[in-house]
C-alpha cells in the first residue's frame, strides 16, 4: 500500500496533552485528578463517552457537572480537556420545541439543527449597547397592564406563596404575545412531569406553542442540570434578541433554582453561607437577570423581558432569596394568599406591587386613562378598613368606596383569558366616564363583555382620538352622545 508523502511544511514538535483520571462519581458530579490546566466552565471529555462541565477547582482535583453520562463511567476512567464551551443553539428551529438545558429534544421533533449558538453562561450586554425601555409589553392582565405596567426589556419579579397564581399569570403573559411579534421562552425548573405536560398542553390549546420554546429540567434531573436550565433559556432568548426580535423569558422558578445551586455547591464541598447557600448566590441570579435588556438600534434593537418567579413562605418577602431577587429586578408583582382565599383573582396585592420603569413604556392613551386609577384604588383599600367598624361616612368618602369596589369588580379576571390593549382602553374610558357606575355582578360582566365584543368588531386603535373611543363606548352601552 503506497505511503502518502508528508506535507512540505511539516515540522515535528513536542505536543503536551494532559490526561486525568476520574476519582469518584455520584449525584451528577464527577471528581477528576490530574488536569492542572483546567479552567472554570471548560468541557472535560472522558474516555467512556461522558462529558462534564468544570465547576469547582482545587489544587488536587476538580469537580465537574456531568452533562452526558454513560453506564461505563466509573472511577479510573481517563479524562482530557477540550477547547469546547457549553453553548445553546438560538435558531428559529427551536420555536415550538421542548428541549432540556443541553438542547436535547424532549418531544418527537427530532434533533435541533441550526448554526447560531450562544454561550450558556455568557456576559451581559455592555451599557453602550443598551437603550431605554420605552415600549410596553402587554401581559393580558387588567391589573398589570393598567396599574403595574411592564416594558419590553424589563425584569419584573412574580413573587408569592405556593399556589397563588404566579405561573398562571406567566402563562397568560405568554399567550397574550400571540400576534404581538414577541418570541417566548418558558423555563421549567424542578417541576413534576405532570406539571410540565399541563403547561405544554395549555400553550398548545391556546395556539401559543408555535412562538414558544420550553426548556425543561424536571424534578428528577440532577442539580447540575437544574442549575443550567435558566441560563440555557436565557441564551436562546439572547440569540433572538441579538437578531432584532423582542423576546419574553419566564423563569419558573428561581427559588427552586437557588435550592438546586445550594445542593450542587454542597455536593462540591463549597463553603456554605447564610441558610447554607453559597456566598455567590446573589451574583448567580444577578448575572442571569442582567442579560435581560433592550438593545440600541445599532445593535439590533431587540429586547429580552424577564419574568422570574420566586416563592415565599407565609408571605415573607424579607427572606433571603426573595430579598435578593427584589433588589435585582425592576419591580415585583406580589401575590397574596389571603386575597386568593377570599376569591379575589388574580390575587395581586397592589399595595406591595411596583413597576419602577414600566410607566414610561406605557402607551400614552392607556397611561392617560390609568392616571389616578392606582392612587384611587389604594385610597379605597385604606378607607374600606374603616367601614368594617361601622363608621359613618360622608358623601365624598362613600363615593370613593363605591368607585373602589367598582374597580375591584372590573379588575377581577379569569385565568387563560388575556385581554388585548384595546379591551383595556375601552373599559378604562367607560369607567372614567362613569358609564359603569351602579353596575355589579352579572350586569357588570355582561356590560364588559359587550364592550369587548364591540372593540373587537371595530377598527379603533390605541392611537385613535379619545372622542372616537368615547363615541364607541356610548353606542355600545346605549347612552345618548
Q: b/e string for 15-27 if b means 16 or more Cβ within 10 A?
A: eeeeebbbbebee
Catalytic residue among 39, 204, 269, 356: 356
| Nearest residue to 349 (alpha-carbon basis) of 385, 327, 374 | 374
Where do we find the cell 404566579? 166
In whole angstroms, how large is the CA radius of gyration of the chain? Answer: 27
HSE-up of residue 419 (Cα within 13 Å, Cβ side): 25
* Alpha-carbon distance values, 312 to 143, 228, 323, 334, 457 (Å): 21, 23, 10, 10, 43
Distance separating alpha carbons of residues 275 and 319, to the nearest angstrom: 10
Residue 234's Cα: distance from chain center in Å? 9
Determine contact, residues 404/384, Cβ cutoff 8 Å. yes
- Provide the sign of the torsion angle of the four alpha carbons 318, 322, 327, 330, taken in this order: negative
Where do we find the cell 398548545? 204
Determine contact, residues 214/250, Cβ cutoff 8 Å. no
Distance separating alpha carbons of residues 49 and 447, to the nearest angstrom: 65
Q: Could you tell me the three cell numbers for 61?
A: 482535583
ω into 253 cis (within 30 of 0): yes
Distance separating alpha carbons of residues 327 and 8, to the nearest angstrom: 62
Residues with Cβ within 8 Å of residue 481, at least 6 apart in sequence: 471, 474
Looking only at the bridges linking them, the beta strands covering 354-355 and 303-312 are unpaired
- Name the DSSP class of 362: S
Q: Tell me, yes or no, if 474 is annotated catalytic.
A: no
Q: What amino acid positions are annotated as catalytic residues?
A: 356
Amino acid at each position: 500500500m503506497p505511503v502518502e508523502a508528508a506535507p512540505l511544511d511539516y515540522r515535528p514538535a513536542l505536543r503536551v496533552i494532559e490526561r486525568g483520571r476520574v476519582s469518584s462519581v455520584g449525584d451528577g458530579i464527577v471528581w477528576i485528578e490530574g488536569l492542572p490546566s483546567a479552567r472554570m466552565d471548560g468541557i472535560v471529555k472522558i474516555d467512556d463517552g461522558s462529558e462534564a462541565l468544570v465547576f469547582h477547582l482545587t489544587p488536587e482535583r476538580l469537580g465537574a457537572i456531568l452533562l452526558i453520562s454513560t453506564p461505563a463511567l466509573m472511577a479510573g476512567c481517563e479524562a482530557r480537556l477540550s477547547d469546547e464551551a457549553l453553548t445553546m443553539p438560538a435558531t428559529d428551529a427551536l420555536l415550538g420545541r421542548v428541549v432540556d438545558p443541553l438542547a436535547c429534544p424532549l418531544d418527537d421533533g427530532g434533533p435541533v439543527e441550526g448554526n447560531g449558538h450562544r454561550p450558556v453562561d455568557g456576559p451581559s450586554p455592555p451599557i453602550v449597547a443598551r437603550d431605554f425601555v420605552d415600549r410596553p409589553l402587554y401581559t393580558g392582565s387588567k391589573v398589570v397592564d393598567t396599574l403595574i405596567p411592564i416594558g419590553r426589556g424589563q425584569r419584573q419579579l412574580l413573587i408569592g406563596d405556593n399556589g397563588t397564581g404566579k405561573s398562571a399569570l406567566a402563562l397568560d403573559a405568554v399567550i397574550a404575545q400571540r400576534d404581538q411579534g414577541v418570541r417566548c421562552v418558558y423555563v421549567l425548573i424542578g417541576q413534576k412531569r405532570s406539571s410540565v405536560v399541563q403547561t405544554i398542553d395549555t400553550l398548545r390549546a391556546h395556539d401559543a406553542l408555535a412562538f414558544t420554546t420550553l426548556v425543561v429540567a424536571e424534578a428528577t434531573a440532577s442539580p447540575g442540570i437544574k442549575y443550567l436550565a435558566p441560563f440555557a433559556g436565557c441564551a436562546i432568548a439572547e440569540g433572538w434578541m441579538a437578531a432584532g426580535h423582542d423576546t419574553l423569558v419566564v423563569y419558573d422558578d428561581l427559588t427552586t433554582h437557588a435550592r438546586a445551586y445550594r445542593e450542587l455547591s454542597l455536593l462540591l464541598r463549597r463553603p456554605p453561607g447564610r441558610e447554607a447557600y453559597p456566598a455567590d448566590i446573589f451574583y448567580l441570579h444577578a448575572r442571569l437577570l442582567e442579560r435581560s435588556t433592550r438593545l440600541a438600534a445599532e445593535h439590533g434593537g431587540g429586547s429580552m423581558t424577564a419574568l422570574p418567579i420566586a416563592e415565599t413562605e407565609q408571605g415573607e418577602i424579607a427572606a433571603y432569596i426573595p430579598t435578593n431577587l427584589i433588589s435585582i429586578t425592576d419591580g415585583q408583582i406580589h401575590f397574596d394568599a389571603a386575597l386568593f382565599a377570599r376569591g379575589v383573582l388574580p390575587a395581586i396585592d397592589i399595595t406591595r406591587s411596583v413597576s419602577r420603569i414600566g410607566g414610561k413604556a406605557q402607551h400614552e392613551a392607556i397611561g392617560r386613562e390609568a392616571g389616578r386609577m392606582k392612587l384611587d384604588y389604594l385610597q379605597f383599600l385604606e378607607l374600606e378598613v374603616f367601614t368594617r367598624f361601622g363608621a359613618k361616612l360622608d358623601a365624598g368618602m362613600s363615593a370613593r368606596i363605591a368607585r373602589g369596589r367598582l374597580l375591584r369588580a372590573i379588575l377581577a379576571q379569569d385565568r387563560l383569558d388575556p385581554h388585548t390593549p384595546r379591551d383595556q382602553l375601552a373599559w378604562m374610558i367607560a369607567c372614567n366616564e362613569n358609564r359603569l357606575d351602579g353596575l355589579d355582578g352579572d350586569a357588570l360582566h355582561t356590560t364588559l363583555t359587550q364592550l369587548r365584543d364591540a372593540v373587537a368588531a371595530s377598527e379603533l386603535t390605541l392611537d385613535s382620538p379619545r372622542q372616537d373611543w368615547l363615541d364607541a363606548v356610548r353606542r355600545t352601552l346605549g347612552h345618548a352622545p
